[in-house]
Amino acid sequence: MEEEPRAHQTDTSASQKGPIETEILNVNVEREGQQVSAKWGLHPSLKAELTPDEWKELTEVMGKVTDIVGKRFAEILARGQREAGGTA
């Protein structure tokens, strides 16, 4: 009888190369011309485990995070354009 793989087993060749990383949360800032937008994403498995109240709270907090990061990125771009004397 063939044994089923177990999720808790580790691949020794992978563990010798370093830790395994899993992206569970990301913030992405994009620029198109003068327009800067920031958005965020959450790993689907983690999202599925959140209660509606936790999802609401996370959405509010991450909205603030993307606002701060997006505005800061736009400020840095504007400063770079002034210092370069042109448009990017």
The pTM score is 0.61
| Residues 34 and 75 sit within 8 Å (Cβ to Cβ) | no
Q: Is residue 70 part of a domain?
A: yes
Gyration radius (Cα) of the chain, Å:
20
| Number of domains observed in the structure of the chain | 1
Q: How confident is the model at residue 70 (pLDDT cuts 50, 70, 90)?
A: confident
Q: Is residue 77 part of a domain?
A: yes
Q: Is residue 5 part of a domain?
A: no
- pLDDT higher than 80, residue 49: yes
Q: Is residue 12 part of a domain?
A: no
Q: Is residue 57 part of a domain?
A: yes
Q: How many C-beta atoms lie closer than 10 Å to residue 36's C-beta?
A: 19
First to last CA, the chain: 64
Q: Is residue 7 part of a domain?
A: no
Q: How many C-beta atoms lie closer than 10 Å to residue 38's C-beta?
A: 20
Q: Is residue 31 part of a domain?
A: yes
Domain that holds residue 35: 22-84
Q: Is residue 1 part of a domain?
A: no
- Tell me which of 50 and 78 has the higher pLDDT: 50
Longest Cα separation, the chain: 72
Cβ neighbours for 87, distance < 8 A, ≥ 6 positions apart: 81
